[in-house]
Amino acid sequence: MMNTTMQMMEMHMKDMPMQGMDMMLMQECIEACSACEQACTMCADSMLGADMAMARSLCATMADMAGTMMRAMLRPNGMPMEGMMAMHMATMTMANASAEECMKHAAMSEDARMCAEACRQCAMCCQKMMDAMKGMMPAN
């Protein structure tokens, strides 16, 4: 069953650049970005010590990026498809970097392990969205 947010988006997208987007895929990506934002925020807050400075910084940045990506998907009419693709690519790249860094601390921190998993899910969903959008773009 489609939730209210997705119904609203579908209704507003009828004549816009993202017309025809798979709403279930978009919902999955929005939820993955939201989960990633939350996990990265909590993970960054839990990382103490100089040896975790890189992970803390990556997680804080990733939380911001995931939240921004999620909000951009909630208003797809205000973004050309090329811009949305670039945002997905940047989010995916940062999510993979954050996941890799968090995995270095996963043995010592369950937060870091869970954050790495949330980042991987976010990256995977961004890739799926990019693949779907590529199929919708006109050939040059």
Domain enclosing residue 69, as ranges: 23-136
Whether residue 62 is contained in a domain is answered as yes
Q: What is the CATH number of the domain that holds 42?
A: 1.20.1270.360
Whether residue 3 is contained in a domain is answered as no
Yes or no: say if 36 and 62 are a contact pair by the CB < 8 Å rule.
yes
pLDDT for the residue numbered 74: 85
* Nearest to 73, CA basis, from 16, 115, 118, 120: 16
pLDDT for the residue numbered 1: 44
Counted domains in the chain: 1
State the 10-residue block means of pLDDT for the chain, 140 residues long: 64 61 87 97 86 89 96 81 92 97 92 96 97 78
Whether residue 98 is contained in a domain is answered as yes
Whether residue 18 is contained in a domain is answered as no
Whether residue 70 is contained in a domain is answered as yes
Whether residue 101 is contained in a domain is answered as yes
pLDDT for the residue numbered 139: 67
Whether residue 64 is contained in a domain is answered as yes
Whether residue 40 is contained in a domain is answered as yes
